[in-house]
Amino acid sequence: MSKIAVPLAEDFEDAEFSVPVERLCDANHEVVVIGAEAGGEVEGKRHRVIVGLDVAADTVDPSDFDMLLIPGGYSPDHLRTDPAVVSFVRRFCETGRSVAAICHGPQLLIEADAVRGRRLTSWPSVRKDLENAGATWVDREVVVDGNLITSRKPEDLDAFCDAVVHALEH
């Protein structure tokens, strides 16, 4: 069983949180939702999912987790302005463990300076930001570059989840 950190804020893309988390839990992995503050709740942008924040970013050690999963929507944009969350993401990326981000999720990786020299995908509007941050952007449903797994949109969730679960099995 692996332990997965999921940074989350208001207005996340509902399916990009709930579908991977369901797949991870079905595979007996533990998911820990990380936010700016512990104990609160955040709501998805489609108002279908409400999630409790398990821990605050400034109270957890990245080395306690096996994977970082960043759902899209507007959540990554909110989180990239929180120094504690950005620090957690940066420190996690430095561990070399698996990082998975979908849709707007790579915005948080840009803020953590974790995309330079990497090959990834995202929602199309994030393309230029990724390129400006030194990444190579590819228009594919899933791009795996070493320990980095990225995907474009909710329609890519099956392939994204397959890649995420596969990475945890190896």
Catalytic residues: 103
DSSP structural state of residue 156: G
C-alpha 44/C-alpha 71 separation (Å) is 10
The candidate with the shortest Cα–Cα distance to 70, out of 3, 151, 6, 134, is 6
Residue 63 CB-half CA count within 13 A: 0
C-alpha 102/C-alpha 104 separation (Å) is 6
> How many Cβ atoms sit within 10 Å of the Cβ of residue 49?
18
| Secondary structure (3-state) at 101 | strand
Token pair recorded at residue 146? 């070493």
Token pair recorded at residue 69? 């999963």
Token pair recorded at residue 85? 């969350």
